[in-house]
Amino acid sequence: MVAQRETVVLVHGLYVHGLWMQLLEYWLEEAGYHTVNYSYPSITRSPSENAEDLHAILERLDTPVIHFLAHSMGGLVVRHLFHHYPKQRPGRVVTMGTPHQGSYAARIMHHSGMGYFVGRGLEDGLLGDAPIWDASRQLGSIAGTLNVGLCLLFPGMPEPADGMIAVVETQLPGMSDHICLPVSHMQMLVDPVAVNQACAFFATGRFRHPPHQCGDGNMVD
């Protein structure tokens, strides 16, 4: 059980709604955290604009510690939040399947004239142009390696991948830890191991790595 007043803010990804984060929210509350499930328009507003809206919500929270659990593009929204509003309360950040290096699929869509499918979500993030991360805030990145999903529409996506985002795209200069799990991009939202790893990072600043596993998820001899 964690301190009663610690809060985790959940931030969903592209195309979806905060409802998709509800199982994660339930598990976090069972672990003792207060939760705020932030839902935002991922297509019609830019990550920077959504970060501004998120900041206004955070200003109203009565809690001394605020962690973030962000899925996919939600992690880019959080990066914009800390870039524009760096003075936040103590806490840690966990991203799940976030394309910190930009998204191969988004680049293909952008260069082939299909960027309208992503809308303003392309601005300052999905093409690899999100703000630089300030390493003074601990961030842990979770990547998936079950390569099923969007990869079927975009051959040539780097592997390993979670079906939408390549593992290499989830790595971020300045991150505190990185781990790979055998899940697909959307499966992360319903995977108890993923949320347990997030809780471990919130508590210690490190994931629970299996023996003989590197921080990037690769096995070593």
pLDDT in tens, 116-125: 667 787 888 8
Whether 216 maps to a domain, the answer reads no
Whether 15 maps to a domain, the answer reads yes
Whether 22 maps to a domain, the answer reads yes
Rounded to an integer, the average pLDDT of 89-94 is 97
CATH code, domain with 63: 3.40.50.1820
pLDDT at 64 over 50: yes
Whether 67 maps to a domain, the answer reads yes
What is the band of 218 on the pLDDT scale with cuts at 50, 70, 90? very low
Whether 108 maps to a domain, the answer reads yes
Among 94, 100, 157, CA closest to 124: 100
Report yes or no: 184 and 144 within 8 Å, Cβ to Cβ. Answer: yes
What is the band of 58 on the pLDDT scale with cuts at 50, 70, 90? very high
More confident residue, 88 or 119: 88
What is the band of 212 on the pLDDT scale with cuts at 50, 70, 90? low
Whether 213 maps to a domain, the answer reads no
pLDDT at 183 over 90: yes
**Chain CA centroid to CA 128, Å:** 15
Q: State residue 102's pLDDT score.
A: 92
Look at the chain and report how many structural domains it folds into. 1
Q: State residue 2's pLDDT score.
A: 53
Rounded to an integer, the average pLDDT of 175-190 is 97
What is the band of 217 on the pLDDT scale with cuts at 50, 70, 90? very low
Q: What rounded mean pLDDT belongs to the chain?
A: 89
Q: State residue 134's pLDDT score.
A: 86
Whether 42 maps to a domain, the answer reads yes
In terms of residue numbers, what domain contains 56? 6-204
pTM recorded for the entire structure: 0.91
Whether 210 maps to a domain, the answer reads no
CA distance 144 to 96: 8
Q: How far is CA 15 from CA 6, 159, 161, 197, in A?
A: 29, 24, 20, 25
Q: State residue 213's pLDDT score.
A: 53
More confident residue, 3 or 54: 54
